[in-house]
Amino acid sequence: MKVTPEIVKDRLARFYIVFGLPSEGESREFNREVQIWTEHFQHVPASAFEMACFQCEGSLTSFPCIADVAGKIPS
């Protein structure tokens, strides 16, 4: 299974909680962020994306950018 908007939405929402940021909910900005991340990771297996997100949660001190997550995905 590849990365879907639902998976990205769940992971980004988790990042907001983990990194202590106010929730974006269903705002236009959050939905655009979901769209951008989904477009970037659409060809990545969902399990690899989720593992990379989990690794970012444990190793970063601030909200990850796309490059942070992409750097954790095996080639």
The answer to whether position 42 is within a domain reads: yes
Per-residue pLDDT at 24 exceeds 80:
no
The answer to whether position 15 is within a domain reads: yes
Which range marks the domain in which residue 46 is found?
Answer: 5-70
The answer to whether position 34 is within a domain reads: yes
Give the confidence band of 54 by pLDDT, cuts at 50, 70, 90: very high
Per-residue pLDDT at 15 exceeds 90:
yes
The answer to whether position 12 is within a domain reads: yes
Give the confidence band of 75 by pLDDT, cuts at 50, 70, 90: confident
Task: Report CA torsion sign: 7, 47, 54, 71.
Answer: negative
Number of domains the chain contains? 1
The answer to whether position 49 is within a domain reads: yes
Tens digit of each residue's pLDDT (9 = 90 or more) over 30-53:
999 999 999 999 999 999 999 999
Q: Is 49 exposed, middle or buried (0-12, 13-18, 19+ CB in 10 A)?
A: buried
Residue type, 32: R
List, as one string, the DSSP characters of 1-57: -B--HHHHHHHHHHHHHHTTPPP-TT-HHHHHHHHHHHHHHTTSBHHHHHHHHHHHH
